[in-house]
Structure 1
Amino acid sequence: MPVIDSRYGIYIKDSKPVKVCQWIDCPDAEIGYEDRKMKMCARCNVVRYCSKSCQRLDWSEHKLYCQISPIMDIAEWMERHESLFRWALIEGLRLRSKPSNIFQYVLLVEITRMDRLMKGVAPSPFFVESMRLKKFSDMEAFMTPDPCKDSRKIMEAGGIGQGIVVFQVSDRRPGGYTLFRFQYHDFHEKPSGEEGPSRTGWENVTMGVVNGEIPISLLSRRIEGPPDAASSK
């Protein structure tokens, strides 16, 4: 299933799928499927089989996660979780005590298309694999010539600056694409210089909520409210 970006009207064509039968005990696995015509599961449009026999034999396992694939709109997915990624920027960059970090780092979020995972096809079209801070210099090939331009304008007006979240979408296929998308967050709040309570594990909290593993109701209301520059380790 191709990825779309409704914000920019972009349609990203699927890379050519690898020919492999989903049934783990397929008798033809050793000789390969180069000259075989593969059939895709009509319900989830994710897994493929070399024969109806293999599909029947694999059904007891596949039925546990066979679901209709969601529309893979990366712009809609990013917007849905925007407040969480903003919160992660505040926590990861420690914007209360070290506002200068906004001029040095971006938040890199590595995600995988849900239909590329062997298990767990779910209503969410993307799965967050990892989150970490990266220096601007490490992302130079994908950034604008002056990524801090807007940050300086906000800083001159008394604010902290503009935080950047970079989403790297892996295709998980040989020769498949790697897509980069950006999300910008303006912080007009004045830096306080005060260190708040240490909040560890901001990466796991954000990934847990986005991936549906942690109910949003269990988290602090501060995540959904205005940013308060709470700090992390």
Structure 2
Amino acid sequence: MAAVASYYANPTPAMHPHQYSKSRGHRVCDTCGVVEELGQRFRMCGGCMITQYCSQDCQKRHWPSHKGICQHTSSMIAAAKHESVSSAMSEDALAKNLRKFCSAHQTLLNWSVFQALQLRRVPANIRTMALHVDLKYRNHTDSARRFVVATARIVQRSVVESYDPLVAQDIQRREERCRRAGGIGAAVILVQCGAMSQVMPVECDSPSRISWDTRDDWADILARYVEGGRVDFQPVTTTSKGVIYG
């Protein structure tokens, strides 16, 4: 199984309804922490195709610390190509599409792990639990609708971290950074399809500073947005106009 570490911070403000189909997702420079704004185009690491940077200077400065996990991720993806995956999609295409899926649905996945782990009610769950999203590939003409959620369940965080020591170290690094900034740590998501998987540590702010409603139907909402190929999700919240889904 190829497990790769990625990082997505808190969700962006709501986009215009007609923008979501071309959204590249919310990107944060892994060196300086600046957020990508409309009109900008952050660069992706060419090795792991996961970490993003606001400039070439930031990418160069981050390389000494990023080199280990980057090279390890690349080798793990290459090794996974020898394992059995869906015959409907090549190994290279599956790895690429899984990364695209996580980028496009990062706001939805961030919200889902917050709800699944019940972090508003029990913030301490972030240290022991993780969200496992198992995807199924389907041969759909719309590229945005080629994955559906087979299962979404809570697992022990130690199980996810045991996949790979370097991934576990990267999660710990991000968790410590988040806590120094006043957050509660890194919530862990394991997104998997066949032999390919991606580990997403989501650095979480204090629940007291997050206005999202507590939702027990998070799994149904996650499945519905993924199956519909919709990437316009915004965290469910209650306003004077009622409940807003995105």
SS at match of 1:199: coil
Structure 2: gaps spanning 5 or more residues: 1-47, 51-72, 238-246
Matched residues in 2 for 1:105 and 1:143: separation? 17
Partner-residue secondary structure (3-state), 1:89: helix
Indicate if the aligned counterparts of 1:109 and 1:130 stay in contact, CA closer than 8 A. yes
Deviations 1:21-48 (A, max 9, x none): xxxxxxxxxxxxxxxxxxxxxxxx95xx
1:122 CA drift (Å): 4.8
Give the drift of 1:192: 2.5
**TM-score normalized with structure 1 length:** 0.53
Match of residue 128 from structure 1: 149
Counterpart residue type for residue 93 of structure 1: L
- Counterpart of 1:151 in structure 2 is 175
Taking the aligned partners of 1:193 and 1:17, their CA distance within structure 2 comes to 41
Partner residue, 2:134 = 110
Q: Given the alignment, which residue of 202, 211, 218 partners 2:218?
A: 202
Q: Are the counterparts in 1 of residues 147 and 226 from structure 2 also a CA contact under 8 Å?
A: no
The CA distance in 2 between the partners of 1:165 and 1:94, in whole Å, is 14
The secondary structure found in structure 2 opposite 1:95 is coil
**What do you get for the CA RMSD once the two structures are aligned?**
3.9
Kindly tell me: are residues 71 and 155 of structure 1, through their superposed partners in 2, closer, same or farther at Cα, counting changes over 3 Å? closer
| Structure exhibiting the larger radius of gyration computed from Cα positions | 1
Hey, what does 1:190 align to over in structure 2?
A: 206
Q: Distance in 2 between matches of 1:198 and 1:191?
A: 11
| 2:229 matches 1:222 | no
Matched letter for residue 125 of structure 1: R
Deviates more, 1:92-101 or 1:200-209: 92-101
Query: In the alignment, residue 137 of structure 1 is paired with which amino acid?
Result: S
> Distance between the aligned counterparts of 2:97 and 2:103, measured in 1?
10
Query: Which residue number in structure 2 is paired with residue 40 of structure 1?
Result: none
Contact 1:71–1:125, Cα closer than 8 Å, also in 2: no
Distance change (3 Å), C-alpha of 1:162 and 1:15: closer
Unpaired runs of at least 5, structure 1: 19-44, 47-68, 171-177, 225-233
Contact 1:84-1:223 within 8 A present in 2 as well: no
SS in structure 2 opposite 1:130? strand
Quick one: distance in 1 between partners of 2:115 and 2:85? 39
Q: Give the direction of change, closer, same or farther, for the CA distance of 1:99–1:152 in structure 2 (3 Å limit).
A: farther
Give, in whole Å, the separation in 1 of the partners of 2:81 and 2:210.
48
- Partner Cα distance (2:115, 2:185) in 1: 15
Deviations 1:111-157 (A, max 9, x none): 12224xxxx66532322211111112233431434444432332243
Q: Quick check: 150-159 or 69-78, which moved more?
A: 69-78
SS in 2 for 1:90: helix
Please name the residue that 1:88 is paired with.
112
User: Is the 1:165–1:182 contact (alpha carbons within 8 Å) kept by the matching residues of 2?
Assistant: yes
Distance (Å, rounded) in 1 between the aligned partners of 2:111 and 2:119? 11
- Residue 101 of structure 2 corresponds to residue 101 of structure 1: no
2:160 aligned with 1:139:
yes
Q: Secondary structure at the match of 2:133?
A: strand
The percent identity for this pair of structures is 19
2:196 equivalent among 152, 159, 179: 179
Matched, 1:212 2:228: yes
